[in-house]
Chain A
Amino acid sequence: MSLVILVPLLPLLAAIIVAVGSRSSQTRRARIGVWPIVAAFLAAIVTLATVSSQGPISLRFYEPGSAANPVLPMGLYVDRLSAVMMTLITLVGTIVYSYSTGYMYQDRGYSRYLGLIALTTFVLLCMVSSANLVMLFVFWQLLSWLLFLLAHNHAHAATLNGAFKTFTLLRVGDMAFLAGIVLAHSLYGTVEFQELFARAASTPIVLSPMAGLEISGATAVTLLIFVGAMSKSAQFPIHVWLPSSLYAPTPVHALLHAGIINAGGFLLNRLAPLYGLSSTTLHVVFVVGTLTAVLGASMMLVQNDIKKTLGFSTIGQMGYMIMECGLGAFALAVFHLIAHGLFKATVFLNCGNVIHKVRQEPASPHARHAVEAHELTRLTWATGFLTTLLLPFVILLVTHGALRIPLLESQGTVIFLFFIWVTSSQAILTLTRLRAVASWKVSVAMLVTLLFVVFTYLFAAEAFTHFLYPNPHEVASYFQASALPGRLFDGLVIGTTLLIVLGWVYLYAQAHGRTMPMPAWVQGLRIRLYVLFMNRLYIDALHARLGQRIMRVAHGLDKPSSGRLW
């Protein structure tokens, strides 16, 4: 049990080792500092094994309701979800820290930077193992502050602006989260997770904040807390802090995109029993997630900077993850955030090298775009056909037969499968533009890889769901709560199918030199959309204008009284 306490404390020790000491010994201290984080990772693995076999570990350093308590109730509650997150965080923390010791070597803020990385790991670990909502909120806010510190460079104006925007937008989410906690405490009288879930389930409360408007207590609480999750996980329309923070050192992004940004997904999972009580909130979560996934991916396509491209890719992925929560697939969201975290950390750690290499070699990337093949070969077509039309049937059969998921009763799974289909189709559609795909080897490799990834994902996700939520009734209740209205669901399925089929028809026609009869306004719309997405939907400008408007009001209020003190 004492091992659990060591998991968050060891990175704190690393932070102290690195940050405290003379400048002459900083390199040695930095090298020593990696070992406590490695030890934390090992301890996290042992904790995961312990929790898996013996159930949750709970350590409270307070007695609920006692006046002898500290003002901030601290404790640890480590269940399977926490243990999985701890393992991920310590793993990514170890990789990022080790990488940073070389990457940031000889930087003026070397010790400070490494200390902050270790401290962020500590805060993340405390957050995921929090015993109650208040403690979670404490570390949630500290994370906002650490992100501000990590995302900023003292002397670079654009970075400073980005860091300011990051912190203020994260604080918007923090305040909504705070309001959610206050409301939860007021309605249910506790901030302890298990008690809160039990009371919320046993005491349905309807609030009537204004005449004609009624809302359930669980919905009000979960909606407010969801705004907090939106801010940390960069959901539309408060995603703008993420691209603004891209000036930070590359390893920071690895930690940010693999660890910090997952806080929203973790929060929704931690409070899954509460979210399961509110269909309205889950639908809102689904809509926000879908919107973010679509817009994030669209904006990613038109960026011309590798870090921004990756940043918007993360926004899209986070949207996808939140959407999964909105579908009631909470465990899948965790599975997704782990997979995405590891993938994106690797990509970010590599992208720094790529940028350096490109700067040193003016000829890179090679400008041989003219030789791209535009025709669609039979092989390409066959690959695309197999992927988009045949593969879904195989997936459906496997899901229905082998995994025994009742598809007709589980909208969430159907939508999830549809998204697999959409994603793989998008990948194929993109790859058909490359000349290399005309090779049968590439086609086969691609199909096999795709099949392997999809099936591994399906089986692993299913197994992970059973691991994280062993009670199948609980999982079923989340799916049930998140069920969309029948017509909307049908519309979504039909719309997605049409989109895919039309995509292929368009591609086929274009490859054969045929022109599609398109109204002029559609062509105009394409250009407008391109400009719109390239400018990130002007959300940054809107935020800036809102800020200016607030300051103008403040100065307007101050100006008439400039001769007075009231």
Chain B
Amino acid sequence: MAEWMVLWLPAAVSVAGAVSGFAAWSRPTALKLWALAVSLASLAALVVWPGQPIGTTVGAPLLVLLPIAAFLSLLGQPPHEDNRAAWIMTLLVLGLGLGVLAARDGMGLILLALLLVVLVALLYRYRALSVSHLWQGIGMYGFGVISLVTALGAAPPVSAVAALAVCAMLLPLAPLHAGYVAALAGLPGNLPAFLACLLPVLGFHGLLAVFPHLPDDLKTALPMVGLAGAVYGAVKALAQSRVRALLAYANLSFFSILWWYVAAVRAVPPQAVLYLGAVGLATTGLLLAWYAIRARYGDMDLRAIRGLAHPMPRFAVLFALLVLAALGLPPFGVFSGFMGLLLTPTLPLSAALVLIVLAWLAASWYFLDLLQRLLFGRHRPDLRYEDLHRTEFAALLALVIILLVTGVAPTRLFESGTPAPPTHVATGNISWNR
């Protein structure tokens, strides 16, 4: 098979699947099966012809992660006509995302701009957020499109800075995270769960490509911005009573740690890839679990629902495991990735470590609070409880297993296309030693 076909096949399968999905529009069950089949076909196209797209720096694990996340987010959905648009859009953004990762030079930016336009359209179409939140999200992605145009047309370093701004919208970094929060908090169906994986991967891909071209001053300032974002995200997450907003801000905190790390170490060890993928998957799982609750009782405030452990035991067990994974407890991938990052020999030690540890500690607080509020206490007698269906259970169980496997798998599985830092230790080079 020709090289260009190998590169573009997974993306083409998804986009073609999205377009042809309209043929089954009137039959939700058939449409869901079609969407599942297309996401599997994309995965197969990546696995059977493993010619890694040349432009991709994120490596095979994150590439494979995208169709898997799409498949699992679709699997847990009940076949209902309200979800049809979300399924088709999942395939479309999957195709665009794979296209961005496969494309070279300007084509990737164009596809990314298309993806942002789709997100703007979706945010406007569903308008699930308050007016101000909605316009902030739309405005941020609109700004992203302008930045991409600038990146295409302007000369370095302006183009690099503009591209970096888009990366900060996708792999959320304060103060450019409003679009990410709006997408997770405002989009319907399984889309937030899938975007929680897709957008950070695209942002990470862009960051690795653009980082070498950034001005030195910006490179020096980025770790500080990452640190501030980690603490800010954690504090914001503490104050949230809406699950989707809480998860979005938690992600801001977790991904800011990655920004800090990449900018400070200026290298990408396999553990960074693991960390990125695991945080994305854990968030996907939690959003799917919350979707199961929303599908039954509506988009409730956290204070309005409690005591699900007894009436919904299967949900409770899987949700608790996902929370464990998300707050960074072993043996799940988030913890393994985080430990791997911190045990990199070239990691510069400074007061930054204190802030990182504090942000990590805060995650224990807000995630445990989320767990206790939802699962424990006396359940409401006015609600009719119904535990997870088979497909919901299968999707969440698969996510838990993947998170578990990533936590104990060999490190080399997560190697990316970019150079990793050296594995030896230079004890004498630590700047604050005498």
Residues of B within 8 A of A186 (CB): 345, 347, 349, 430
Q: Closest CB-CB distance, A238 to chain B, in whole Å?
A: 13
Q: List 11 interface pairs A-B (beta carbons < 8 Å), by A numbering.
A: A69-B410, A70-B409, A141-B335, A148-B368, A178-B342, A182-B342, A189-B345, A206-B434, A217-B433, A558-B240, A566-B136
What's the Cα separation between A171 and B377 when bound, in Å?
23
Residues of A within 8 A of B365 (CB): 168, 171
Q: Closest CB-CB distance, A179 to chain B, in whole Å?
A: 5
Q: A145-B324, A182-B353, A209-B432 are in contact. Are A134 and B339 (CB under 8 A)?
A: yes
What's the Cα separation between A68 and B376 when bound, in Å?
41
Residues of A within 8 A of B415 (CB): 67
- In A140-172, the 8 Å CB interface with B consists of 141-142, 145, 148, 152, 154-155, 157, 160, 163-164, 167-168, 171-172
Residues of A within 8 A of B425 (CB): 185, 188-190
Q: Closest CB-CB distance, A175 to chain B, in whole Å?
A: 5
Residues of A within 8 A of B274 (CB): 71
Interface flag for A205 (CB, 8 Å):
yes
Closest to B413 in A: A71
- Which of A72, A163, A205, A209 touches B330 (beta carbons < 8 Å)? A72
Q: CB distance B376 to A71 under 8 Å?
A: no
Q: CB distance A565 to B434 under 8 Å?
A: no
The 6 closest A-B pairs by CB, nearest first: A189-B425, A558-B239, A71-B336, A565-B178, A554-B238, A554-B239
Interface flag for A551 (CB, 8 Å):
yes
Q: Closest CB-CB distance, B432 to chain A, in whole Å?
A: 6
Q: CB distance A555 to B412 under 8 Å?
A: no
Interface flag for B5 (CB, 8 Å):
no
- In A56-74, the 8 Å CB interface with B consists of 65, 67-72
Q: CB distance B309 to A172 under 8 Å?
A: no
Interface flag for A563 (CB, 8 Å):
yes
Residues of B within 8 A of A160 (CB): 372, 376-377
Residues of A within 8 A of B235 (CB): 553-554, 557-558
Closest to A108 in B: B310
Q: CB distance B357 to A71 under 8 Å?
A: no
Interface flag for B81 (CB, 8 Å):
no
Q: Closest CB-CB distance, B305 to chain A, in whole Å?
A: 15
- In B370-425, the 8 Å CB interface with A consists of 372, 375-378, 406-412, 415, 423-425
A529-566 Cβ-contact flags toward B at 8 Å (1 or 0) = 00000000000000000000011011101110001111
- Which of A69, A152, A185, A563 touches B132 (beta carbons < 8 Å)? A563
- In A29-88, the 8 Å CB interface with B consists of 65, 67-72
Closest to A190 in B: B425
Residues of B within 8 A of A185 (CB): 342-343, 345, 425
List B residues at the A interface (Cβ < 8 Å).
Answer: 130, 132-133, 136-137, 174-175, 177-178, 181-182, 232, 235-236, 238-240, 270-271, 274, 307, 309-310, 324, 329-331, 333, 335-337, 339-340, 342-343, 345, 347, 349, 351, 353-354, 357-358, 360-361, 364-365, 368-369, 372, 375-378, 406-412, 415, 423-425, 427, 430, 432-434
What's the Cα separation between A172 and B362 when bound, in Å?
10
What's the Cα separation between A175 and B329 when bound, in Å?
11
Closest to B345 in A: A189
Residues of A within 8 A of B181 (CB): 565
Q: CB distance A72 to B339 under 8 Å?
A: yes
What's the Cα separation between A71 and B415 when bound, in Å?
12
Q: A171-B361, A179-B357, A558-B239 are in contact. Are A68 and B410 (CB under 8 A)?
A: yes
Q: CB distance B133 to A565 under 8 Å?
A: yes
Q: CB distance B427 to A189 under 8 Å?
A: yes
What's the Cα separation between A551 and B235 when bound, in Å?
8
- Which of A134, A157, A565 touches B182 (beta carbons < 8 Å)? A565
Closest to B131 in A: A563
Interface flag for A431 (CB, 8 Å):
no
Residues of A within 8 A of B309 (CB): 154
Closest to A172 in B: B361
Residues of A within 8 A of B345 (CB): 185-186, 189
Q: How large is the interface on A (under 10, 10 to 19, 20 to 34, 35 or more residues)?
A: 35 or more
- Which of B364, B410, B412 touches A167 (beta carbons < 8 Å)? B364
Interface of B, secondary structure class, is helix
- Which of B336, B369, B423, B424 touches A72 (beta carbons < 8 Å)? B336
Closest to B358 in A: A175
Interface flag for A187 (CB, 8 Å):
yes
- Which of B175, B324, B372 touches A566 (beta carbons < 8 Å)? B175
- Which of B133, B361, B432 touches A208 (beta carbons < 8 Å)? B432
Interface flag for A207 (CB, 8 Å):
yes
Residues of B within 8 A of A65 (CB): 423-424
Q: Beyond the given A148-B368, A557-B239, could you list 14 further A-B residue pairs with CB under 8 A, ordered by the A residue number?
A: A67-B270, A71-B410, A72-B331, A154-B375, A157-B377, A171-B361, A178-B357, A183-B353, A186-B349, A205-B433, A206-B433, A208-B434, A564-B133, A566-B177
Residues of B within 8 A of A167 (CB): 364, 368
Residues of A within 8 A of B310 (CB): 154
Residues of A within 8 A of B354 (CB): 179
Residue from B307, B337, B424, B434 having most chain A Cβ neighbours under 10 A: B434
Residues of A within 8 A of B408 (CB): 70-72
Interface flag for A293 (CB, 8 Å):
no
- Which of A154, A178, A207, A217 touches B376 (beta carbons < 8 Å)? A154
A455-491 Cβ-contact flags toward B at 8 Å (1 or 0) = 0000000000000000000000000000000000000
Residues of A within 8 A of B182 (CB): 565
Q: Closest CB-CB distance, B180 to chain A, in whole Å?
A: 9
What's the Cα separation between A559 and B238 when bound, in Å?
12
- Which of A191, A208, A554 touches B236 (beta carbons < 8 Å)? A554
- Which of B136, B175, B238, B378 touches A550 (beta carbons < 8 Å)? B238
Closest to A183 in B: B349
Q: CB distance A179 to B353 under 8 Å?
A: yes
Residues of A within 8 A of B432 (CB): 207-209
Residues of A within 8 A of B351 (CB): 209
Q: Closest CB-CB distance, A104 to chain B, in whole Å?
A: 18
Q: Closest CB-CB distance, B187 to chain A, in whole Å?
A: 14
Q: CB distance A557 to B236 under 8 Å?
A: yes
Q: CB distance B174 to A68 under 8 Å?
A: no
Q: CB distance B331 to A138 under 8 Å?
A: yes
Q: CB distance A155 to B376 under 8 Å?
A: yes
Closest to B129 in A: A565
What's the Cα separation between A1 and B344 when bound, in Å?
33
What's the Cα separation between A203 and B240 when bound, in Å?
47
Residues of B within 8 A of A553 (CB): 235
Residues of B within 8 A of A163 (CB): 372
What's the Cα separation between A557 and B336 when bound, in Å?
31
Residues of A within 8 A of B133 (CB): 563-565
- In A168-227, the 8 Å CB interface with B consists of 168, 171-172, 175-176, 178-179, 181-183, 185-191, 199, 203, 205-209, 214, 217
Q: Closest CB-CB distance, B112 to chain A, in whole Å?
A: 21
Q: A69-B410, A188-B427 are in contact. Are A155 and B378 (CB under 8 A)?
A: yes
What's the Cα separation between A182 and B346 when bound, in Å?
12
Q: CB distance B427 to A141 under 8 Å?
A: no
What's the Cα separation between A188 and B270 when bound, in Å?
22
Residues of A within 8 A of B330 (CB): 72, 138, 141-142
Q: A154-B310, A186-B347 are in contact. Are A566 and B412 (CB under 8 A)?
A: no
Residues of B within 8 A of A168 (CB): 364-365, 368
Q: CB distance A187 to B331 under 8 Å?
A: no
Q: Closest CB-CB distance, A207 to chain B, in whole Å?
A: 6
Residues of A within 8 A of B358 (CB): 175
Residues of A within 8 A of B423 (CB): 65, 67
What's the Cα separation between A470 and B239 when bound, in Å?
55
Residues of B within 8 A of A155 (CB): 307, 376-378
What's the Cα separation between A188 and B424 when bound, in Å?
11
Q: CB distance A164 to B369 under 8 Å?
A: yes
What's the Cα separation between A182 and B343 when bound, in Å?
6
Q: CB distance B372 to A555 under 8 Å?
A: no
- Which of A175, A214, A559, A563 touches B361 (beta carbons < 8 Å)? A175
Q: A155-B307, A185-B343, A554-B239 are in contact. Are A566 and B409 (CB under 8 A)?
A: no
